[in-house]
A and B are shown apart, each in its own frame.
Chain A
Amino acid sequence: AQKITQTQPGMFVQEKEAVTLDCTYDTSDQSYGLFWYKQPSSGEMIFLIYQGSYDEQNATEGRYSLNFQKARKSANLVISASQLGDSAMYFCAMSFSGGSNYKLTFGKGTLLTVNP
C-alpha cells in the first residue's frame, strides 16, 4: 500500500528566507508521481509542482522546487524567498496507477507560517 509521511506538523520561516517541507513516501511501484498542493485558509487546494518517478531532473516552478531523492524515497518541497502569502497548509501527495486507476494518496500536511 502507498503511504505519504509529512513529519512536520508546523513550520515557521522569516519572510524572504527559504524553507524546506519534508515528505517521504512508501511504494513498491516503479511508476508514480509526486505532487505538492497548497491549501490557504479559504480551503481550496492549489497545485504547486509535480515530479514523475522517471524524471531525472528535479522539478521547478518559479519559487518552488522539489528535491527528489528516489533512493531515499523523499520528495521535499523547497520554497525560496518566502512571502507572507505563502502561509498555508502544504500537502504532499502521490499518484499511482493500478490498471486504469489513478488515485492520489495525501499526507497529513504541514502548516507553514511566514513571519514578517
Chain B
Amino acid sequence: DGGITQSPKYLFRKEGQNVTLSCEQNLNHDAMYWYRQDPGQGLRLIYYSQIVNDFQKGDIAEGYSVSREKKESFPLTVTSAQKNPTAFYLCASSRVWEGRNEQFFGPGTRLTVL
C-alpha cells in the first residue's frame, strides 16, 4: 500500500542534542513538507521541497535543517539551536493535478525535550 511513514513515533531528546526525524513516501510525489504543531494550534510550515536536491524555508525554519537527496525521503533535523523543540511534527507529500495541491500526511512524530 502506498503511503507516508514517519519514524520514530515518539522521540525524547536531551537539551543540546540534535535529532533527526525520518519521513519516507512511496506515492511518487514530487513535493514534500514538514509541519510543526503545538498543543491546541494549527500546523506551521517548517520546510518544503518540490524536487530532489532543492528545498525552501517555510514560516518557522530557524533551528531546523532538511535534505532531499532522494525523491522518497525528506528527513528533518532538529538542531540544538531550536529553542523550544517539544512539539508534534508532521510530514506530508503532495501531487498537483488539475491545479489542485492535495497533501497527504504521515502519522507524525512527537518530540519531547527532557
A interface with B by C-beta (< 8 Å): 4, 31, 33, 35, 37, 42-47, 50, 52, 91, 95, 97, 100-104, 106-109
Residues from 24 to 76 in B contacting A, C-beta threshold 8 Å:
31, 33, 40-45, 48, 50, 56, 58
Residue B94 lies at the interface, judged by CB distance under 8 Å to chain A? yes
Residue with the highest number of chain A CB atoms closer than 10 Å, among B40, B43, B48, B102: B43
The secondary-structure label for the interface of chain B is: strand
Q: How far is the CA of A101 from the CA of B55 in the complex (A)?
A: 11
Q: Can you list 13 A-B contacts (CB < 8 A)?
A: A33-B101, A42-B107, A45-B105, A47-B103, A47-B104, A52-B100, A101-B50, A102-B31, A103-B33, A104-B33, A106-B44, A108-B41, A109-B42
Q: How many A-B residue pairs have CB under 8 A?
A: 65
Q: Which of A31, A47, A107 contacts B102 (CB 8 A)?
A: A47
Instruction: Identify B101's interface contact among A46, A104, A107, CB under 8 A.
Output: A104
Chain B residues engaging chain A, CB cutoff 8 angstroms:
31, 33, 40-45, 48, 50, 56, 58, 88, 90, 92, 94, 96, 98-108, 110
A47-B103, A102-B96, A104-B45 given; 10 more Cβ-contact pairs under 8 Å: A35-B103, A43-B88, A44-B107, A45-B92, A91-B42, A102-B50, A108-B41, A108-B42, A109-B40, A109-B41
- In the complex, what distance in Å separates the CA atom of A50 from the CA atom of B88? 25
User: Which applies to chain A's interface (DSSP): helix, strand, loop or mixed?
Assistant: strand
Are B101 and A44 in touch, CB under 8 angstroms? Answer: no
Query: Nearest-CB distance from B11 to chain A (Å)?
Result: 14
Whole-angstrom distance from the CB of B109 to the nearest CB of chain A?
A: 9
Task: Answer whether A43 and B108 are a contact pair too, CB < 8 Å, given A33-B100, A102-B96.
Answer: yes
What residues of B have a CB within 8 angstroms of the CB of A103 in the complex? 33, 45, 48, 58, 101
Given contacts A44-B107, A103-B48, contact A33 B99 (CB under 8 A): yes
A50 and B102 within 8 A (CB) = yes
- A-B interface, 9 closest residue pairs, ranked by CB to CB distance from nearest: A102-B101, A45-B105, A106-B42, A43-B108, A108-B42, A106-B43, A95-B101, A44-B107, A33-B100
B107 touches A52 (CB 8 A): no
Min CB distance B40 to A, Å, is 8
